[in-house]
Structure 1
């Protein structure tokens, strides 16, 4: 029966599965034969959380699901210029503000200002507003439906994010992943042995001296990056462990093809001339592979470099990929909205006048989006509600932000 490489406890059928590449960053490969459930829980609530905590902005931006399918993390109360936003892991953006305000006029009438992103939200607010102005719900609903309303669409202001990678706990997690992957190749007995003792102790307890001497961030592109990108996408995650002829063992953990964590598992004494790679596509977590197909020059693995210019180049490519992958979704949403607003059915005839009208509306919305200006469509609330309820019977789209005012 195998024993945990970290604490020596025997492993069994009830051992909790360990994600070699963290579930939080899209990992799906698990093992029950390397570390015990107690150590797994310890890592999950500590060093693995520290590692995953260095990339929630990336996951949110691109809606990267976890390996087990959980939605990307949400970001709350994010400042974008003068706006405060909640960024959902599903890509939805909510402006943080009061859902409604009530102002009483000197003559005893009220002005009600409602801010909502869907018809459903307005419906939920109606009883609360009616109570606040002491009006029967149905009477308030009747007046509200006849009031003016606006559907406002606006691209959020620029959101500055500060990414930070490294630190002892994140490196402890990267080392743990490399040791676990390596054990699936060379066996628990070897990784539990003396050559790996310092690395295991670092995972369990940290240590400034080990961190300084045997870990380092690496900003260089992997020599075979084009081959990996072609198979696993431009933002791949990769764990590669390799030994040389003397049994020196080095691990290289690339996160989202942005930054790499280089760790030394053993200075000597490991099984010589072996290698193991686990690579995953975070945009499609079902696409992953474990094997020894990638052979990196050991001299390259041994000489990591940290260069700010490399970081800037990688971030620029990341931003370009984001713009390329997400902009079409925005335009598709606008196209669907304009077509449905004009009652256009798939396969139906389109007159020249209607085509001209649709083209003009769509051009205006795209231009306003590009310029970061608000696009506003005014109507009675009843008209907007009829329109968007009709759309809800078809393909689901993100509902618009709506505003309305009613005076009693």
Structure 2
């Protein structure tokens, strides 16, 4: 069967052979999708116009959580996200801070016939790689160099300024598209194109303001489906009696929106909910367990509310930051333990060694919590060029 794209209303494609449209954006960790909604051109154009602003507005949360996208990729590293001691740093997935770039200084003392090379890098492996490159360019070998002072440092920026933006109309159009895409996965292509959803479609493509189509909301969402504190959820309820269909959209477990999909619903009662955990890709769907009450049906979509927005953003970013802290502590414990056993691996793991390991872990975590910079001079004979 041939279907017409619901957005441009001109391009046609075979049922199930249209462009892949995700319910929750793939860039936010969504997996579920449909190929019976739109053409590739509209998918690409709406992706740039409304989906990209939504993903970028939430990218700091995606990065702090270290999400996995719907295509199995890591959350984006935020390049040159800030400056510390005159050096740019990146924010890695999970929220870890790292220097944006390495620095190499090379000075030639022709009188003494020596070359002084200074390398500032993010880890020992990088130092080794850069030194090898420098030696190769000079036509020298490892035996030709003399190691000078080596300092290992862990430094913490005093603060990181973040930006979370969900106030753009384009972003709300993307969220409305999320609800429409989900209901499209559970109804026939003919019902989707019957004219019942014309208002919300016009709002999504930008032809109609329709500020009463979507709003941020503080109403309680149904308890199911629920699989993660960081989950994305889409819940659809359509009422035969009320002639209405509404969608509830929740991003990162706390950014909540209500979408008025139609007020001329001619189908049967329909209740279904979908949840995906962007941290690992787990997803679930529940039917007939998400019936909405009068609170949901009586609330009218009213656009953007700054007070509700700030309250929800504080909650969601706080949860993302706490997850980052948990990941940091796990990383610290793993790295300190690995280094410890490299040093003492050949000895019996006595109570004294257990206490020494515990003390090192506790100190490293305390430095992380209280942002205490740490510097360590490495003796030249302990540094090996591999």
Common fold by TM > 0.5: yes
Match of 1:173 in 2: 174
Question: Which whole-Å CA distance do the structure 2 matches of 1:260 and 1:370 have between them?
Answer: 31
Cα 1:267–1:352 shift into 2, 3 Å? closer
CA 1:366–1:325 in 2, change beyond 3 Å: closer, same or farther?
closer
TM-score between both structures, scaled by the size of structure 2: 0.84
Q: Find the aligned partners of 1:324 and 1:380 in 2 and give their Cα distance.
A: 32
The worse-fitting range, judged by mean Cα deviation, of 231-240 and 172-181 is: 172-181
Q: 1 or 2 for the larger relative contact order (CA 8 Å, sep ≥6)?
A: 1
Aligned residues: 375
The aligned counterpart of 2:119 is 114
- Aligned counterpart, 1:95: 99
> Relative to structure 2, which stretch is displaced further, 238-247 or 150-159?
150-159
Aligned-partner SS, 1:28: coil
The residue number in structure 2 matching 1:295 is 291
Partner residue of 2:282 out of 272, 279, 286: 286
Say whether residues 1:213 and 2:212 are aligned partners: yes
Q: TM-score, normalised by structure 1?
A: 0.80
Whole-Å separation in 2 of the counterparts to 1:65 and 1:102? 40
Gaps of 5+ in 1: 390-408
The 3-state SS of whatever aligns with 2:383 is: helix
Contact (CA 8 Å) 2:18, 2:37: kept in 1 or not? no
Q: Are the equivalent residues in 2 in contact too, given 1:235–1:256 (CA < 8 A)?
A: yes
CA pair 298-10 structure 1, distance change in 2 beyond 3 A = farther
| Contact 1:168–1:206 under 8 Å retained in 2 | no
Q: CA deviation at 1:237?
A: 0.5
Matched, 1:273 2:269: yes
Q: Compute the displacement of 1:221 (Å).
A: 5.6
Tell me which of 209, 220, 223 is aligned to 1:222. 220
Change (3 A) 1:274 1:166: farther
The reply to whether residue 238 of structure 1 matches residue 233 of structure 2 is yes
Give the whole-Å Cα distance in 2 for the aligned partners of 1:295 and 1:41.
Answer: 34
RMSD over equivalenced CA pairs, Å? 3.1
Cα contact 2:219–2:295 (8 A) shared by 1: no
Q: Does 1:65 align with 2:68?
A: yes
- Report the more deviating stretch, 370-379 or 309-318: 309-318
Residue 143 to residue 271, structure 1, CA distance change in 2 (3 Å): same
The alignment partner of 2:234 has SS state of strand
Preserved CA contact (<8 Å) 1:27 1:66: yes
The one of 84, 88, 92 equivalent to 2:88 is: 84
The match for 2:31 is 28
**Residue 47 in structure 1 maps to residue 50 in structure 2:** yes
Query: Residues of 1 paired with 2:316 and 2:380: CA distance?
Result: 44
